Structure 1
Amino acid sequence: MNTKLQRVLVLSLLILLMAATRSHVFTHFGPVPDASWAVFLLGGFYLRGWSRWAFPLLMVLAVGIDWAVITRQGMDFWSHYCVSPGYWFLVPAYLSMWLGGLWLRRNYTGASVAALGRLAVAVVAATALCHLFAQGGFYWFSDSVADPTFAGWAKNYGDWFLPYLRGTAMFVAIAAIAQVVCEQVAAHAAPVAHDRKKKA
């Protein structure tokens, strides 16, 4: 991703993806899973040079969508079940996904079996850390959990980890397929363009 136009296009697609799917976050899993975690990982991968402002922009968008969904239901944002002091743990949670994308990009030289392995590691590790912050913040700092215990936290973490990993992996896999297709198209287009220049 080396041009401003490409980055603008990617950022626009990530904004649309989060806006289209995040409204399900308060029912946990709707017809289409929430893509927010994948959006931040893909943002780290594709928008590395814009991290300083693209990450805060997507963070503000996430909170804004939450506020809009809650207030549209006629509820006060700050009194909602999902909004507690632990809600702000979403910042380090989503930063974990972003850093996973940055690490992936730093080690990416093109589609390969090794790259696929690194992708799997990045998705699992970043999702595990993101879930640690997001779920842990809610479990330990929300009044909704009357008597938090380590055993209860561990069970809750385990119960929700695979559904979140599955949803995140689905969106990342779609993006990875698109990346490979784009690389193949570019690789085949380059010799054709070179031949045309020679003929001209």
Structure 2
Amino acid sequence: MATTLTRRLGIFLALALVMAATRSHHFLHHFDNLPDASWAVFFLAGFWLRGSVRWAFPLLMALAVLIDYVVISGQGIDFWSHYCVSAAYWFLLPSYFSLWLGGSWLAGHYKGLRLPTLALAAAALLVSEGVCYLISNGSFYWISASVPLPRSFSAWFANLGDWYLIFLTTTAIYVGAGAVLHVAVSQLARVLKQTDQTGVRH
């Protein structure tokens, strides 16, 4: 939703910092109290940086991979031998892009700070987060060598249920925080604009 390049770069840097500060908890257990904000970052980026997908999405993806590589390698572990990294790791690309699309779709239907917007935001988040979860969880379960054989649909469905609410809740909390920030900044901008117009009239 940002209109100038300067604002877009500022938003991008802020989101990148949030992801950098939280993503390492996958691999460093002492960061468990700081849940990973990556899913929310891609959703919010799709909303705030709609129209900048050509550069913003690839850079965020590159940052996510770089964080994973630095953290895993820093533990003296070969990147591709880590439990969380396998051929399924490549499916993070469509997984995260589904979140971006959800945020972008919401931005395209955004009509200001009204109650219907909240319903649209909830729907966009639920659908895009659900698609992301199905792709990421499904690819890991069916492709990763870390999952013991034999595999079955019943076991996969059980696994889906075990983790879904955790991922959804975490993402929703971060997106909610982003929404509060968006409302606060929008209201502040409106007040400043009205103040400026009043000053011009006088």
Q: TM > 0.5 between the two?
A: yes
**Does residue 155 of structure 2 align to residue 155 of structure 1?**
no
Which residue of 2 is the match for residue 32 of structure 1? 34
Which residue of 1 is the match for residue 127 of structure 2? 125
Partner SS state of residue 48, structure 1: coil
AA aligned opposite 1:77: F
Separation (CA, whole Å) in 1 of partners of 2:27 and 2:71: 8
Separation (CA, whole Å) in 2 of partners of 1:189 and 1:58: 32
Partner SS state of residue 180, structure 2: helix
Separation (CA, whole Å) in 1 of partners of 2:189 and 2:24: 36
| TM-score (norm. length: structure 1) | 0.96
AA aligned opposite 1:168: T
Which residue of 2 is the match for residue 80 of structure 1? 82
CA-CA distance at 1:198 after TM superposition: 1.4
Separation (CA, whole Å) in 1 of partners of 2:54 and 2:191: 35
Separation (CA, whole Å) in 2 of partners of 1:165 and 1:46: 20
Which residue of 1 is the match for residue 101 of structure 2? 99
Separation (CA, whole Å) in 2 of partners of 1:125 and 1:30: 26
Superposition pairs of residues 1-200 of structure 1, within 5 angstroms: 1-26=2-27, 30-146=32-148, 147-199=150-202
Separation (CA, whole Å) in 2 of partners of 1:195 and 1:79: 63
CA-CA distance at 1:26 after TM superposition: 3.2
Partner SS state of residue 116, structure 1: helix
CA-CA distance at 1:181 after TM superposition: 1.1
CA-CA distance at 1:27 after TM superposition: 6.1
Identity among equivalent positions (%) equals 48
Q: How many equivalent pairs are there? A: 199
| TM-score (norm. length: structure 2) | 0.95
AA aligned opposite 1:17: V
CA-CA distance at 1:158 after TM superposition: 1.1
Where structure 1 has 5 or more consecutive residues not aligned to the other structure, the ranges are: none
